[in-house]
Structure 1
Amino acid sequence: MLKSAVAVLLFSTIAVAQDAAMFRGNPEHTGVYNAAGAPQFHSLKWKFETKAQLHSSPAVANGVVYVGSTSRNLLAVDLETGKLKWKFETGARIVSSPAVVDGVVYVASYDGNFYAVDAVTGKEKWKFKTGGEKRFAAPHLHGSTPVTETMPDPFDSYLSSPVVVAGVVYFGSGDTNVYALNAADGSLKWKFKTGDVVHASPALADGTLYVGSWDSYFYAIDAATGKEKWKLKTGEDHDIYNQVGIQSSAAVADGVVYFGCRDSNFYAVDAKTGEKKWAFNNKGSWVISSPAVKDGRVYFATSDTGLVYALDLNGKEVWHFDGKHWVVFSSPAIAGNTLYLGSHAGKLRAIDLTSGKLAWEFETDGSKANGAGLTKPDGTPNYEAAFHTNFYDDMVAGVQIMLKTGAILGSPVVSGDTVIFASSDGNVYAVR
């Protein structure tokens, strides 16, 4: 747990063949890719410079990488050459991971619109206006001052990423709703209201949509009708609103839903009944990372403690990898016997699934340029260099200072022998 105001500040994104065309690889969000991956590092294939921060995960379809940017643009980059094919401008930053289905790219923007864009030409097909985007906000947030001021959370890093199945696109919004739209024309099929911001990405399995909200509830919603099937209550924090809210997107496998929560628990829930099967407690560390599930194990990362866990399906630890307290919001991607994961340290790490040992790592340009000044001699982050006081403005500024490390907030994606990821240093990287 972030036990004091200062501690809070210091520690506080449909697979076809080898494509990675949807957040977490498939509608169930298992994070597993049908690709060879790169169990050994060979080379940097290319680097595409955007000159803006990149927070979300890329998508790959038909030889093109699609990624959103804080410059307000949705970008399409050639997978082989790293050259820009087109860009589509919205009214505000894009921190939603796009989905690409049947030649259309679907993505949300902070301008309050949800867009459908032609994947080949970059031309708008339609847009749907939500009730507007906003971050989760609360008074005395993370112990900051002024105590009575309601503060948007600077760690609310993403917008909901869409899942598209059978001609319907589903996503959450800062207006507290979960939406279902007709994928062909953007017309509303239904909307489901929660009690707060929904920036987690829905997972869909067996006709049910699974998604968490910042109101501390996790919901199962009938995908056809938009009616609630069940909901599960997670932790609350009405003091500094630190240990509350669901940013993690769920994964569904073999009748079980897995998701993380800012109450520091990682949950396994019966997909049909909503009954909690078990919870793995992370001793106060948020779980923003969305899980990956493969071959009887579930994998996720913690934020404050920077750990990567492999658990068996009974919630027992198999192994963990220590990231030296570098915050991890990135979600694991699995291809073959290797797990790929980014961190706020500006490093992409490849971890062997069997041993939990590091196979290789790749350092971003931002990390090379600024990592030394924000890293202590023992390899742990120098948060004191960024977060000077517990005043809210200083917390916001400190987040931006730490992002100078070329942090990898989104999930990597794997296509063939190439791992593609985006960084806060403004670059999209393709390594193999």
Structure 2
Amino acid sequence: MKKPQFLIPLLLFFIFNNSVLGQNKSKTINAFSDRVFNGKEYQPLGDLKWKFKTEGKIFSSPISQNNTVYIGSEDGFLYAVDEKSGKENWKFKTNGAIHSSPSISGNTIYFGSFDGFYYAVNSQTGKEIWKFKTGGEHWLGEIGMWGFKPANQYMEDLWSFYLSSPVVYQNGKTAIVLFGSSDGNFYAVDAKTGNQIWKFKTDGPVHGTPVIDKNKIYIGGWDAVLYALNAETGKEIWHFALGTQTGFKGIQSSVAVSDGKVLFGARDPHFFALDSETGKLIWKYDAENSWILSSAVVKDNTVYVGTSDTYALLALDLKTGKEKYRLKTNGYVYSSPAIAGNTIYFGDFTGNFFALNLLSNGKEFNSVSTENRKQFASATLKNDLLDFGYTAQNEDLTFYDNNKKVMDQFYRLGPIVSSPFVNSNTIYFGSGDGFIYAYNLQKGK
């Protein structure tokens, strides 16, 4: 498949998360705990039910409980929005952007902010219960990143979208909240008090979200290592190291665990299946120099995951890693997909949101667009496709600031890096245009 001309990282010195949320059996809604929702057969996207405007880009993913949708925004607020009307119930202010996705256990909602704190807030009133101070939260960055010019300028990674999203784990009589931090630690704190129980040190910021399966915690970060930890003690069981080539280093996604396999993608341009007991490689899929920041979801022995450079949703065989089919979109697929019934839902970086019939081998789908995409697509996209060089308009892309200008143009489209949540025949997702969207789902076919 032909790639856009800018995706030759070693030649041009540049390249190219969230989190999706689900509900587990214990009434705790944890980021990445389960991305398969109850549903009917194929349910395409219907009419817009409502949209709610925040004052910042949305990288956080929504969750819904007790007729309320919760989501964070880059404007520094966590919002509680009425599920039926789209009206604000309350909002909670932090002193930093909220790129972490919330999790709920009982009447407490947990999330992190770029102000350097992880919070526990009453989900009904929006009142703070506790906050935990990390060593500081920040985007990935360095001086002269990836050979960009000028060599002495500090540069933030333009594609580091998320902070770690907390997960609640019941450890005997104690519930603990687990999350990573930009300070390089992975933390376990008491869910009621916010007191630290243990921490695990890595060799880089941890912006991924943990997944717990059979008392093992799986977490990866910017040191390009996937760790399996004991959920009770935080001690390492095994680790798996990926490649560290410039521009291809780091794990932003979360794992899926199925059939004894730990499944995940990374900036190392592959998708990996590891043995959950030993951490040994079972198979890996060559993603054609494409990052995989999307987190996978598994159904009926098929693994579904998005790619960046090839603009695709992939369907891979769970046992072998062989590609079954792909759905080509209009831009990077960083949104982690969610499945309800025989439909998979996800967004792309151009502001399109898709509903694909899983029984159609990638042939039957419909899509909707953000309001910003409708307004700015013709001026930003080339033949309705994301094209870095086209949008750059002959700017010298060896300079960091010119790449940032292109990304700012892309953000005008309302990119969807937020991942969807399905509840009561409605699907919710956030967008870079600052809106959370609620769409009705059509009757099952």
Tell me which interval the TM-score lies in, with the shorter structure as reference length. over 0.9
Could you tell me which residue of structure 2 aligns to residue 47 of structure 1? 51
Give aligned pairs, total.
422
Q: Could you tell me which runs of 5 or more consecutive residues in structure 2 were left unpaired when the two chains were aligned.
A: 441-445
Aligned partner letter, 2:262? V
The answer for the alignment partner of 2:286 in structure 1 is 281
Q: TM-score, normalised by structure 2?
A: 0.91
The equivalent residue for 2:23 is 15
Q: 1:226 aligns with which of 220, 226, 234?
A: 234
- Please report how far the alpha carbon of residue 100 of structure 1 lies from its aligned counterpart in structure 2 after TM superposition: 1.0
- What percentage of residue pairs aligned between the two structures are identical? 40
Q: Is the CA contact 2:15–2:247 (under 8 Å) kept in the aligned structure 1?
A: no
Does structure 2 retain, via aligned residues, the 8 Å contact 1:111–1:132? Answer: yes
Measured after TM superposition, the shift of residue 38 of structure 1 is 6.8
Change (3 A) 1:208 1:16: closer
1:19-418 to 2 correspondence within 5 Å?
21-24=29-32, 26=33, 30-36=34-40, 39-147=43-151, 149-166=153-170, 167-237=175-245, 241-313=246-318, 314-324=320-330, 326-354=331-359, 355-377=361-383, 379-387=384-392, 388-389=395-396, 390-418=398-426
- One-letter amino acid of the counterpart of residue 240, structure 2: L
What letter corresponds to residue 312 of structure 2 in structure 1?
Answer: L
CA-CA distance at 1:36 after TM superposition: 4.1
Q: 1:113 to 1:172 in 2, by over 3 A?
A: same
Aligned AA for 1:23? A
SS in structure 2 of the partner of residue 401 of structure 1: helix
Whether the aligned pair in 2 keeps the contact of 1:302 and 1:308 (CA below 8 Å) is yes
Q: Which amino acid aligns with 1:106?
A: Y
Alpha-carbon distance between aligned partners in 1 of 2:410 and 2:176, rounded to the nearest angstrom: 38
* Distance apart, 1:9 and its partner CA: 4.7
- 3-state DSSP of counterpart to 1:126: strand
Contact 2:42 2:342 in 1 (8 A): no
- How far off its partner does 1:37 sit? 8.4
Shift of residue 143, structure 1, vs aligned partner: 3.8
- Counterparts in 2 of 1:10 and 1:235: CA distance versus 1, 3 Å: closer
Matches of 1:264 and 1:186, distance apart in 2:
37
Q: Give the secondary structure class of the aligned counterpart of 1:189.
A: strand
Structure 1 residue 254: deviation in Å? 2.6
Which amino acid counterpart does residue 321 of structure 1 have in structure 2?
L
Q: Deviations over 1:33-78 (max 9, x none)?
A: 1244871232111111113211121111111110000110000001
Does the CA contact (< 8 Å) of 1:113 and 1:129 recur in 2? yes
- Tell which deviates more after alignment, 355-364 or 415-424: 355-364
Three-state SS of the structure 2 residue aligned to 1:373 is helix
Q: Is contact 2:35-2:297 (8 Å) kept?
A: yes
1:256 to partner: Cα distance: 1.2
Separation in 1, partners of 2:380, 2:219:
35
Q: Distance in 2 between matches of 1:7 and 1:306?
A: 20
> Where does structure 1 lack aligned partners over 5 or more consecutive residues?
none
Q: Secondary structure at the match of 2:407?
A: helix
Please say if residues 311 and 318 of structure 1, whose CA atoms lie closer than 8 Å, have aligned partners that are also in contact. yes
Structure 2: distance between partners of 1:142 and 1:366: 31
Shift of 1:384: 2.9
CA RMSD of aligned residues (A): 2.0
Tell me the amino acid that sits aligned with residue 136 of structure 2.
G
